[in-house]
A and B are shown apart, each in its own frame.
Chain A
Amino acid sequence: MAEQMITRDLKVSFGDHQAVKGVDMEIRPRAVTAIIGPSGCGKTTFLRALNRMHDHTPSARVSGEVLLGDRDIYGDGVDPVELRIRVGMVFQRPNPFPTMSIRDNITFAPKRHGLAKGKALDDLVERVLRQAALWDEVKDRLGASAVGLSGGQQQRLCIARALAVEPRVLLMDEPASALDPTATQRIEDLIYELKKDYTIVIVTHNMQQAARVSDYTAFFYMGLLVEFGETDGLFTNPREERTEAYITGRFG
């Protein structure tokens, strides 16, 4: 199910400010790729380019190639809706739909895409909630509003919601930044579980987290991909001076 993604000379600018300045990167399937770097270096901007979320920002311009499998997602005839079914996204701030129940949050997209109906839909809800380690906490109140959940639970609901579309790639933008250590722990466990089936890209400010959960790490600095490699190597033996400075906490 998982697919690889490759970016070639990916550039994103807002007006005349270039936030991502030509990034070449290979995102491996069935692995976790972490993106680290100081605030404002273009991590979120890069991530959002991978499922064409910039389409909805009038000032944003994207150039270069992003291959999903062997197809350029910015090429002719690619439907962003279809793309986003294959490349899911979890945002930094939990954003469940407050007007919907927990169950409806999850079934919203599968219903639109016609993925399941009736009993199959119920099964789908249970499966993704179990995957997101939320089932036991919410199974008795699926009809309740999603705003009643704690921050950590909301974020796991958002992950479950993204999984319900059965994507090949899951993009996560600092998914644990607003959460306490216990909730963070659960999300990290979850990511570890998920990578068996998915390609995962996770943006994080937390170096330990990157080291714990990821197989590959990319270090961004001022819109450029400075260093990219296996996580172990990058953390223990960075090739670039700026990478070393960052991971040892000398800036950022």
Chain B
Amino acid sequence: MDTASAPPRALRLRLRHLRDRLLVALCLVALALAVIPLVWVLWEVVGVGVRHVSWEFLTTLPQPPTVGGGGWANAIVGSVVVVGMAMVMGVPVGVATGIYMSEYGDNLLGKSARFLSEVLAGLPSIVAGIVAYGLIVVTMGRFSAVSGSAALALLFIPIVAITTQEALKMVPGHQREASFALGVSEAATTLRVVLPAAMGNVLTGVMIATARIAGETAPLLFTAFNSRYWMEGVDRPTATIPVNIYSYAISPFEHWHQQAWAGALVLLAMVLALNVAARTLWARRARFMAGD
């Protein structure tokens, strides 16, 4: 029996192994297809951007395209302010929502907040812009930094809420029980016991959410809008890096295209730094938690 069926079976086995290897190779190709664009984008942004980033670019105001030179200092400041205000609006709401969902959320409100946070996390960013436009820009009668921040906060809150919830859920239940058993109130239990234990992961979530909104462009186009001057107030149109990249990129001026690449490098550096910092924080945290 063995002799009769051995050759075809052996051949078949060889083919099966071949197919196994072939498909792993295909999976590697798939990975390459994802990694190549990433490397390529980074390569272009760094390669072209580095040639056009200069002290002048970082510290001076834009010049008209015919003049040449000039910089994006106002946009850099604008981005920091707009993102910063979005965080001020978003962190309390996001973290509190995360706390509620994790600690007290076993009810209709908790379930709705969880579901809607997840749905909001997939909200097209431009829709957030439309809402801020209708509520703030139309009401105030002009574009403003604060309307841009409000739009970004809409995108920021669900991410922070979800990551905070997940971070708190990872804290073992016995720590809460120990605290309750000592007669400590809910507020103190959460703020002094649970939140500190989860702080690393909560911060990671905040950083990732910040990185995400720092690169957002679409909702700012018709909220924060743009400006050639230093920021004049949070109720005024304000330049930001992402919007500048867009408007310079679609302009007809070679000189502006170069500045768009330089701006992209600055933005990418900020966003990636936030991401890498968040990951390493998280990795250290994970190792710490596994260790005890």
Contacts from A to B (Cβ < 8 Å): 79, 81-82, 112-114
Contacts and interface: CB of A to CB of B under 8 A. Distances in A.
A113 B8 CA distance: 10
B17 A113 contact: no
B8 A114 contact: yes
Give 8 nearest A-B pairs by CB, closest first.
A114-B12, A82-B13, A81-B13, A79-B13, A114-B9, A113-B9, A114-B8, A112-B16
Contacts of A114: 8-9, 12
Contacts of B16: 81, 112
Given A81-B17, A114-B8, 8 more contacts: A79-B13, A81-B13, A81-B16, A82-B13, A112-B16, A113-B9, A113-B12, A114-B9
A46 B158 CA distance: 50
Nearest to A166: B1
A110 to B, nearest CB: 12
Contacts of B8: 114
12 contacts: A79-B13, A79-B17, A81-B13, A81-B16, A81-B17, A82-B13, A112-B16, A113-B9, A113-B12, A114-B8, A114-B9, A114-B12
Name the prevailing secondary structure of the A interface residues: helix
A79 B11 CA distance: 13
Nearest to B14: A79
A205 to B, nearest CB: 31
A79 B12 CA distance: 13
B6 to A, nearest CB: 11
A79 to B, nearest CB: 7
A73 to B, nearest CB: 16
A166 B9 CA distance: 14
Nearest to B12: A114
Interface in B1-39: 8-9, 12-13, 16-17
A82 B13 CA distance: 8
Contacts of A112: 16
A112 B8 CA distance: 13
A131 to B, nearest CB: 18
Nearest to B15: A114
Interface in B107-138: none
A112 B12 CA distance: 9
B164 to A, nearest CB: 33
A81 B10 CA distance: 11
Contacts of B12: 113-114
Nearest to A81: B13
Q: Which of A82, A112, A113, A114 has the most CB of B within 10 A?
A: A114
Contacts of B17: 79, 81
B175 to A, nearest CB: 29
Contacts of B13: 79, 81-82
A81 B8 CA distance: 15
A70 to B, nearest CB: 14
Contacts of A81: 13, 16-17
B191 to A, nearest CB: 39
A107 to B, nearest CB: 16
A79 B9 CA distance: 13
Interface in B217-256: none
Nearest to A82: B13
A161 B12 CA distance: 21
B14 to A, nearest CB: 9
Contacts of A113: 9, 12
A3 to B, nearest CB: 12
Nearest to B1: A1
Nearest to B10: A82
B19 to A, nearest CB: 11
A82 B12 CA distance: 11
Contacts of A79: 13, 17
A113 B17 CA distance: 12
B93 to A, nearest CB: 42
A79 B8 CA distance: 16
Nearest to A79: B13
A139 B16 CA distance: 32
A114 B8 CA distance: 9
B15 to A, nearest CB: 10
B101 to A, nearest CB: 31
B52 to A, nearest CB: 47
A205 B269 CA distance: 60
Nearest to A114: B12
A196 to B, nearest CB: 17
A82 B16 CA distance: 11
A114 B9 CA distance: 7
